[in-house]
């Protein structure tokens, strides 16, 4: 499974904004930090704003901030919202799209890959933005501050951060 650059950049935008909870962030500073063209990020920020992951403010003193608490932004939700599809193989597509795969109905691969996709999302759904930005080193690297104290994380995230 490979995520598109669009989803990758979306996650980076959210990470950057999350480690700067005390101020508005500009698209230009995110572009500069990650070496991503500003025009790509503008579209991504607009989309994340429409979905409620970001709050955007226009104007000279505008910028972006999280649209809801980082602990309420589930990574799986972001990935699902930003990826165009998760039809891993031809037989996952709508019936007319797979053009009559000759082994359709007798091949167990569709079930195996379906289970793999469910496991993939189970992991992504178990982590929030707060979980993935709680490392102080990340905040320092991005010029931000720690988002939440480790004690405020869900038990699974605390176990990962201690390990």
CA angle at 149 for the pair 148 and 155, rounded to the nearest 5° = 100
Average pLDDT over the chain, rounded to an integer: 83
Q: Does residue 162 surpass a pLDDT of 50?
A: no
- Calculate what percentage of the chain has a pLDDT beyond 70: 80
CA distance 146 to 130: 10
8 A C-beta contact, residue 82 and residue 7:
yes
What number of other Cβ atoms are within 10 A of residue 9's Cβ? 22
8 A C-beta contact, residue 75 and residue 3:
no
- pLDDT level of residue 58 (50, 70, 90 thresholds): confident
Structural domains for the chain:
5-148 (1.10.10.10)
CA distance 78 to 51: 9
pTM (2 decimals)? 0.80
Q: Which residue has the higher pLDDT, 47 or 136?
A: 47
Average pLDDT over residues 122-128: 95
Average pLDDT over residues 77-86: 91
pLDDT, residue 98, reads 52
Q: Which residue has the higher pLDDT, 15 or 58?
A: 15
- In terms of Cβ atoms closer than 10 Å to its own Cβ (0-12, 13-18, 19+), residue 58 is exposed
Average pLDDT over residues 114-119: 90
- pLDDT level of residue 150 (50, 70, 90 thresholds): very low
Strand partners, 64: 25, 56
Give the lowest-confidence range in 23-27, 130-134, 140-144, 147-151. Answer: 147-151
pLDDT, residue 149, reads 45
pLDDT, residue 12, reads 96
8 A C-beta contact, residue 160 and residue 148:
no
Strands 54-57 and 63-66: antiparallel
DSSP class of residue 128? B
């Amino acid at each position: 499974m490979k995520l598109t650059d669009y989803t990758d950049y979306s996650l980076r935008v959210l990470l950057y904004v999350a480690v700067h909870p005390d101020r508005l962030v500009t698209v230009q500073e995110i572009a500069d930090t990650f070496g991503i063209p500003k025009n790509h990020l503008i579209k991504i920020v607009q989309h994340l704003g429409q979905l409620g992951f970001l709050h955007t403010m226009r104007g000279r003193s505008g910028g972006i901030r999280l649209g809801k608490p980082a602990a309420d932004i589930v990574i799986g939700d972001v990935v699902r919202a930003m990826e165009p599809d998760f039809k891993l193989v031809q037989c996952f597509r709508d019936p007319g799209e797979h053009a009559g795969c000759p082994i359709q109905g007798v091949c167990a691969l569709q079930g195996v890959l379906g289970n793999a996709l469910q496991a993939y999302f189970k992991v992504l759904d178990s982590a929030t933005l707060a979980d993935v930005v709680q490392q102080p080193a990340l905040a320092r690297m991005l010029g931000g501050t720690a988002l939440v104290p480790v004690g405020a994380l869900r038990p699974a995230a605390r176990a990962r951060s201690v390990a």
